[in-house]
A and B are shown apart, each in its own frame.
Chain A
């Protein structure tokens, strides 16, 4: 049962992510991790022997829990990816705001642009 649920959820999300990319609402750059995580879960859920073998290998007694572990690790990876992306955006945002402050002042003073940087 858990197998069917995992496959179903992964498939629905997979299609949803593809659709979001198609409609231009999600950049490919941010979709790679999503798609990879779903493919992983689908492969493990369909291929029972692989799931069982990997479970043995990492010491998971009840194979279906491995599906959750894999999904959870991917969620963490995706979140970390977002934290990095947000940090970079906020730094760029700050630089832009500072640039606006400087430009606004220059327009106000009507200083010719050629006079910058002596």
Chain B
């Protein structure tokens, strides 16, 4: 990108996303100049990996499924190994438009935050979650806001930018499943600055949400429990 000091890596964690992965990579190619793309294939059993490779993306292949958190973490490890200093997480299901990536990058380039979260709720974006999902997102956002001390409106958003310092921190502590909310709490405890920017998102373009009715209960309990434990955890800064 323009600034030579900033090498940007786009991390796409993917698990069985053959329907959408090609469009996501293409979208990124159209809207970012010079950013590298790494797809972390979290043990997919479909053609995700083949398609990603044929689109020219670097593919890191987990030998088995370990959860989206582990996939993002692998991405961080790769970024640090290769000398990237900004990471952008983009979902493989097409929810995150590549044209919004620049909005996430800008505050990091100017050193205004260590982690920038793309929020669907800062400005009216036309996104309408179901009632249950909306309540879940609202609850998590309120809990995280209370802990972090700044207003967070979209704590479950996986559309994020992370700077070098935060990457080095997260590569050892990133949660395995449903990591988004917990990661914010950990980052806050680690002394990092979190900032939200308004972005628009699309509804998923294919595949299925990992959060089904049955799992949402597990999700809710697991994340709330993890947050409570995180608050008590000792974290080396």
Residues of A in contact, count (CB < 8 Å):
12
The reply to whether the CB of A118 lies closer than 8 angstroms to some CB of chain B is yes
What 0/1 pattern do residues 96 to 118 of A give for CB contact below 8 A with B? 01101110110001000000111
Residue from the list A101, A116, A118 in contact with B62, Cβ < 8 A? A101
**Complex Cα distance A110/B53, Å?**
16
Also in contact, A116 and B40, with CB within 8 A (given A94-B66, A94-B70, A105-B58):
no
Do residues B77 and A100 form an inter-chain contact, with CB atoms below 8 A?
no
Q: Main secondary structure on chain A at its contact with chain B?
A: helix
Do residues B70 and A105 form an inter-chain contact, with CB atoms below 8 A?
no
Interface size class of B (residues with CB under 8 A): 10 to 19
Do residues A98 and B81 form an inter-chain contact, with CB atoms below 8 A?
no
Do residues B83 and A97 form an inter-chain contact, with CB atoms below 8 A?
no
CB-nearest residue of chain B relative to A104?
Answer: B61
The reply to whether the CB of B78 lies closer than 8 angstroms to some CB of chain A is yes
Residue from the list B58, B64, B78, B81 in contact with A97, Cβ < 8 A? B64
**Complex Cα distance A117/B61, Å?**
21
19 CB contacts below 8 A, A to B, read A94-B66, A97-B62, A97-B64, A97-B66, A98-B62, A98-B70, A98-B74, A100-B63, A101-B40, A101-B61, A101-B62, A101-B63, A102-B78, A104-B60, A104-B61, A105-B61, A105-B78, A116-B81, A117-B81
**Which of A's residues lie within 8 Å of B, judged by CB?**
94, 97-98, 100-102, 104-105, 109, 116-118
